[in-house]
């Protein structure tokens, strides 16, 4: 092949350009740590990054909301424990007062004690987490129970989508456990009736209160155990979500990030190729008749 001067210089500049462009790409990859910056770099990986990032973000928000819900359920559970303790005290008092050895004066004193217990229970049921009431369903800005023990909340139960399409309850229905909605006993009404029976020295009423308070205690116990179950489920969901977050982050990284060792090796190779191109070009310029002819 006939080699002309233009070829010599064009070839030199083409090969040096190519080598420089490779060095540039390798430097970018090494310095940014990213293998895929534009969709065109690897279309499948770019699409995968979007899907896995969305899954990562979903899992992270599940983890956050589930953890927050567990905290709130703990608060609710603590309040229910106080209610349960108060109800147990009231029931013991009822058993005691139903005994014939107590007279009207004793029972009037006990009535005052039951009034205390009633207030304690209402106060516990009006517990707040943050700036909202935990037992009012969606009516969380006003106290769910008034001083007379009337329920102002609703039947709403909050849920968390712990996995696509899977809703896990994250709040408790105080109306079922306390007001006896759906066929149970109204605990606060039972306390009031007990107090009235004590005031009226009505032993039949006091004996009836023993049973009602017993039922109420078990209703509350049931709700506490439900809270425990919900907390377990949510903690598990948070743990699973944390693991999912980690694995999705890893997937995104695998798709998008440059392998540090490979990137460094490629940079070294590209630099060596550039050096070779420069050296070869310099050599090829050296040989000319111009240097030989005087």
Interacting residues toward another protein by CB under 8 A: 1-7, 9-11, 14, 34, 36-44, 46-51, 53-54, 57-58, 60-62, 64-65, 68-69, 130-132, 136-141, 153-154, 156, 158-161, 164-165, 167, 170, 256, 288-290, 293
- Closest separation between CB of residue 238 and another protein, Å? 13
What do you get for the CA distance between the two ends of the chain, in Å?
28
Q: Which helix (H) or strand (E) holds 83?
A: helix 43-97
- Closest separation between CB of residue 291 and another protein, Å? 11
CA-to-CA distance for 205 and 198, rounded, in angstroms? 8
- Closest separation between CB of residue 220 and another protein, Å? 22
Q: Which is nearer to another protein, 2 or 103 (CB)?
A: 2
Q: Which is nearer to another protein, 112 or 260 (CB)?
A: 260
Q: Which is nearer to another protein, 120 or 156 (CB)?
A: 156
CA atoms within 13 A on the CB side of 73: 28
If DSSP codes are grouped into helix, strand and coil, which group holds residue 5?
A: helix
- Closest separation between CB of residue 15 and another protein, Å? 10
Burial call 101-125: b when 16+ CB within 10 Å, e when fewer: ebeeeebeebbeebeebbebbbebb
- Closest separation between CB of residue 282 and another protein, Å? 17
If DSSP codes are grouped into helix, strand and coil, which group holds residue 65?
A: helix
Q: Which is nearer to another protein, 26 or 87 (CB)?
A: 26
CB-based contact 72:134 (threshold 8 Å)? yes
Question: Which neighbouring-strand residues pair with 133?
Answer: 128
Q: Which is nearer to another protein, 15 or 192 (CB)?
A: 15
């Amino acid at each position: 092949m006939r080699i002309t001067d233009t070829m010599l210089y064009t070839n030199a500049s083409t090969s040096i350009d190519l080598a420089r462009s490779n060095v540039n790409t390798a430097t970018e990859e090494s310095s940014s740590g990213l293998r895929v910056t534009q969709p065109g770099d690897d279309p499948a990986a770019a699409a995968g990054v979007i899907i896995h990032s969305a899954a990562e973000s979903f899992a992270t928000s599940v983890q956050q909301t589930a953890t927050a819900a567990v905290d709130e359920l703990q608060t609710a559970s603590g309040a229910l424990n106080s209610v349960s303790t108060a109800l147990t005290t009231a029931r013991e008092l009822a058993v005691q007062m139903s005994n014939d050895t107590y007279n009207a004066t004793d029972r009037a004193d006990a009535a005052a004690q039951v009034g205390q217990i009633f207030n304690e229970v209402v106060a516990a049921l009006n517990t707040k987490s943050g700036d909202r009431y935990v037992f009012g369903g969606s009516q969380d800005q006003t106290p769910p129970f008034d001083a007379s023990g009337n329920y102002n909340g609703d039947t709403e139960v909050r849920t968390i989508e712990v996995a696509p399409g899977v809703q896990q309850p994250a709040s408790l229905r105080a109306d079922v456990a306390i007001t006896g909605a759906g066929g149970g006993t109204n605990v606060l009404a039972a306390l009031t009736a007990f107090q009235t029976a004590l005031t009226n020295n009505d032993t039949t009423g006091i004996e009836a209160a023993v049973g009602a308070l017993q039922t109420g205690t078990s209703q509350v116990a049931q709700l506490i155990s439900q809270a425990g179950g919900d907390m377990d489920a949510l903690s598990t969901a948070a743990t699973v979500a944390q693991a999912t977050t980690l694995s999705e982050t890893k997937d995104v990284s695998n798709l998008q990030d440059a392998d540090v060792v490979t990137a460094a090796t490629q940079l070294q190779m590209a630099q060596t190729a550039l050096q070779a191109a420069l050296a070869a070009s310099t050599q090829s310029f050296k040989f000319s008749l111009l240097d030989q002819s005087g």
